[in-house]
Structure 1
Amino acid sequence: MRDVASEAGVGVKTVSRVVNGEPDVAESTRHRVRAAIARLDYRPDDSARGLRNGQIASIGLVLDDATDPFSAQLVAAIQAEAQLHGMLALSGSCNEDPDSERELSLALCARRVRGLVVVPAPGARHDYLSPYLAEGLPVVFVDRPPVALAADTVLTDSRGGAITAVRHLLAHGHRRIAFLGDDVRIHTAAERLSGYRAALHEAGLPIDTDLIAARPVRDETVSATLAAFMALPEPPTALFTANNRTTVAALRALAGFDTVPALVGFDDFQLAELMSPPVTVVAQDPGSLGETAARLLFQRLFGDRSPAQRVELATRLIPRGSGEIPPHPTGGRTIAVPPF
């Protein structure tokens, strides 16, 4: 901070006020200080104050959506691994916003976390972390790979899981299989759509774009999409939903239909076994994703300097009933949502 003050021709206290966003600093002075900060590549060390109160070492965890059950299991696994090494896991959510992801990641770096685990926001670039990687900060990306940065990455085999789901429906006689997924700008959504297409191609079936919907998940859009699917001259006899939020939204919408397609969802979810019939899923393991990411992070902290790794974890099919319904001329049988 003294170096910045000298470069900008101001006092250390003025630099402190600018860094902390305090008022009563002239705009021209604030601009001069920020320019000096940029030239010197100064980054605040928020952990310095913690040295006085015995703050223990920590790692940072950046989530895309803290409300998703997937995130809860991921956090629990990472926290458990951090505790084995006497560290805290400080977590925050960027709510799928690239700018928020960057701000949160840099805020954690400013606190001098020992390592960083990031679930990337859709559309984010990650070269802003390059200076920290160059200084030796281990960074591991989970669920989606980084963009514009070479770093350790732990993923689920989304494409392979989607192929498994569609093959399962094909094995039960379905040929009109609809895809309902998230925005394909999201890595996992694109991979699952790719797997859906690959399985149909493998079976010698054409790709019918009328049976594909890939857009942000909202109850009203899912409901409208399903109504459009079932109004087709040849409605689908089966449905592949490409994440748990889409599956739950689809089940809510399908509760109003007399007959519905067979269904396989990607991601397990609570109460799936209580539906009638219970919901067949291709399950990933958020706990294993978190555990693998944390172990990779601590290997780096313990001195591993090997090239960046990309680890893909397998999925597993859980047949429960909804994915085993045979084709029906009007699109399937009734899936009842139990009252709660």
Structure 2
Amino acid sequence: MSEGGGRTAHPVRRASETPRRPTMVDVARHAGVSIKTVSRVVNNEPNVQQQLIDRVLASVAELGFRRNHLARTLRSGQSTATIGLIIEGLANPFYSTIAAITAEAAAQHDTLLITASSEEDPQREQQLLRDLCSRRVDGLLVVPAGYDHSFLRPEVEMGTPVVFLDRPAGGLLADTVLLDNRGGTQAGVRRLLEHGHRRIGILLDSVAVYTMRERVGGAREALAEAGIAYDERLVAEGVHDPDTAAAAVAGMLGTSDPPTAFFSLNNRITVGVLQELWQRKSQVEVVGFDDFELSFLMPQRFTAVSYDTRQLARTAVDLLFQRIAGERSGPRTVTLPTTLVERGLP
């Protein structure tokens, strides 16, 4: 093929052929130049004749050629300008807020964000993380579902920064951004104790989850400070959604010595608790961990343990980009505060 001649005819595609992306070979053939010339043009290398540049760019436009940035960076060992985010699911406003803040920060750093859901499955989480590492992302943000992340140690040692948020990693020293789950629950239980309650019903999902363990620990400590025993009969575990929360409240209130207040350890449980109390026209006091959208419109007053989800996400993503930029200090754990706020219609 001579680079001095005109372009070769572009072959007509048969109707039965499967469409494929044009390659540099196609561009070179169409422009009548060598593959090396195409490579030099698309990579903006110097000392290429203008007439060759014009021919190559015309062929690129006509064929719709797009350079494979990922393949290029993998070959060169350069940054891929991508980060990965693993969360449990976008349907939950907590995680969708984290994803939105991370996307904003990534755009500010001219970085592509790849987001995936672990669906609270440790095996799926590991598969997703390994896949992101194989794509050579510049860093990872993880809301962990599993308990052992030691499989990431080789990646971390080779320079891939990882920041965990909401829960710590298992078997791996890494940067972590947490909420003060224990302190927030202590404050909520103390509020109920100050109001004279001694039989407090506690509703939670599962102590297998780090956040739940911390919150139960905070409740135990606050009760112990007041000289009140932690009564397992006043604890409902396995409460996964509003319906199971409402059923648990109904069961506790149906006993001969029911609780005089409830502490729900996440916002979905709180919704179910308030629903059941509203139907019963009961004014039993409620404190719930996690604020939520439209909580101020709930028909019954309650206290929420609130925090800034946006700050949680911003802190984590800022720390990740610091690591990507070369920050090499030891792993850090940042714990963000919670506050008690009054919610519901007056």
TM-score (norm 2): 0.75
Separation (CA, whole Å) in 2 of partners of 1:56 and 1:150: 24
Separation (CA, whole Å) in 2 of partners of 1:260 and 1:231: 15
**Structure 2 partner of 1:264:** 287
**Structure 2 partner of 1:89:** 113
**Structure 1 partner of 2:142:** 118
Q: Deviations over 1:83-105 (max 9, x none)?
A: 22111221010110001111111
Q: Structure 1 stretch 226-235 or stretch 147-156: which is displaced more?
A: 226-235
CA contact (8 A) 2:297 2:344 kept: no
Deviation at 1:216, TM superposition (A): 4.7
How large is the RMSD of aligned CA atoms in angstroms?
Answer: 2.3
CA contact (8 A) 1:66 1:95 kept: no
CA contact (8 A) 1:94 1:101 kept: yes
Deviation at 1:273, TM superposition (A): 0.6
In the alignment, structure 1 residue 218 sits paired with structure 2 residue 241:
yes
Deviation at 1:317, TM superposition (A): 0.8
**Structure 2 partner of 1:289:** 312
Task: Indicate which of 207, 212, 232 corresponds to 1:184.
Answer: 207
> Who wins on radius of gyration, i.e. which is larger?
2
Give the letter aligned to residue 136 of structure 2. R
**Structure 2 partner of 1:168:** 191
In the alignment, structure 1 residue 280 sits paired with structure 2 residue 295:
no
Aligned identity (percent) is: 45
Give the letter aligned to residue 100 of structure 1. R
CA contact (8 A) 1:66 1:92 kept: no
CA contact (8 A) 1:272 1:278 kept: no
CA contact (8 A) 1:223 1:250 kept: yes
**Structure 1 partner of 2:8:** none
Give the letter aligned to residue 188 of structure 1. T
Separation (CA, whole Å) in 2 of partners of 1:243 and 1:220: 14
Give the letter aligned to residue 133 of structure 2. C
**Structure 1 partner of 2:59:** none
Q: Deviations over 1:53-98 (max 9, x none)?
A: xx96111000012211000111122122222211122101011000
Give the letter aligned to residue 97 of structure 2. Q
In the alignment, structure 1 residue 74 sits paired with structure 2 residue 101:
no
Separation (CA, whole Å) in 1 of partners of 2:123 and 2:276: 33
| 1:57-72 matches, cutoff 5 A | 57-72=81-96
| 1:195-234 matches, cutoff 5 A | 195-234=218-257
Give the letter aligned to residue 75 of structure 1. A
Query: Where in structure 1 are there 5+ consecutive unaligned residues?
Result: 1-44, 323-334, 336-340
**Structure 1 partner of 2:22:** none
Give the letter aligned to residue 102 of structure 1. Q
Residue aligned with 1:291, SS: helix
Deviation at 1:298, TM superposition (A): 1.0
Q: Deviations over 1:156-211 (max 9, x none)?
A: 01000000111111122211111111100100000001111111111111211111
**Structure 1 partner of 2:338:** 315
Deviation at 1:47, TM superposition (A): 3.1
Residue aligned with 1:59, SS: strand
Deviation at 1:139, TM superposition (A): 0.2
Separation (CA, whole Å) in 2 of partners of 1:109 and 1:234: 55
Task: Indicate which of 122, 125, 134 corresponds to 1:101.
Answer: 125
